[in-house]
Amino acid sequence: MPGWIESSCAMMLIHDIVDNDEQKNRGVRMRLRNKPWAKEKIAAYPQYVIPHPEEYKGRWNELFGNDHPIHIEIGTGKGKFITEMAKANPNINYIGIELYPSVLVSALDKLIANELPNLRLLNVNAKDLPNFFAEGEIERIYLNFSDPWPKKRHEKRRLTYRSFLELYEKVLVDEGEIHFKTDNQGFFEYSLVSFSQYGLVLTYVSLDLHNSDFEGNIMTEYEEKFSAKGNRIYRCEVKYPPKQRHS
């Protein structure tokens, strides 16, 4: 299926997918294994996991030592995706954001092993993004296999909910991008609607990524696991409309 299609067409195709309640309503991911030593290890590597990111607001390029564009991944997990992206794109600076220290420590291990100068990590909550990044400081945001929070009462926790889209807009450049992947059909449908209602422009969509013509896909740990089970992977790219400029 061609990737470049209009939003309305994408929504029509979504509803042609065979309904699967287990797929649509898959909830919280696997249980987190507590690693009581994780915080101590993270604190031991402040050059990789930045301890006071608010101090770099508006000047992250000083930390990286260049003016390359900055891409962030929210919910970076164990770090496979962002580590491989940083390896493949040395002229882009990457920041992986992960709330849970017991998960982030695995991403830290990968960064220690690879010593990538264009990758840093943050152990912070995504709802605080404007505290850490200035307006227009980020070029692209990746959302990979975010928790779908399937219960209606948890809607505001979804990373594609309107309030999060507002936060992203504050830190993204003009016409900044969000790249989104999930194996959860219901969450994907919800997100397409949320993006559209917010006014974002859909520039790419795949309803079966691994059987599409998309090139250069880097898989996350979750993606490898769910794809191996035969689950369909959904992916889209959206961008914000041009910001209004007042004379």
Catalytic residues: 147
| No. of helices (H) and no. of strands (E), the chain | 10, 7
The beta-carbon contacts of 223-232 under 8 Å, at least 24 apart in sequence, are 223/144, 223/145, 223/181, 223/183, 226/145, 226/183, 227/183, 231/23, 231/183, 232/17, 232/23, 232/183, 232/185, 232/207, 232/208
Q: Which residues touch 207 (CB under 8 Å, ≥6 apart)?
A: 1, 10, 13, 14, 17, 232, 234
Q: Quick one: which H or E segment has residue 144?
A: strand 138-144
- Known binding residue 98? Answer is yes
62: annotated binding-site residue?
A: no
Residue 225, marked binder: no
Q: Binding residue per annotation — 147?
A: yes
Does the annotation place 221 within a ligand binding site?
A: yes
Residue 189 marked as a ligand binder: no
Q: Which DSSP helix (H) or strand (E) runs through 242? A: none
144 is in an annotated binding site: no
The response to whether 239 counts as a known ligand-binding position is no
Q: 151 labelled as ligand-binding?
A: yes
Per the annotation, binding residues for S-adenosyl-L-methionine are 73, 98, 125, 147
Binding residues: 73, 98, 125, 147, 151, 183, 220-223
Detail the residues annotated as belonging to a binding site for substrate. 151, 183, 220-223
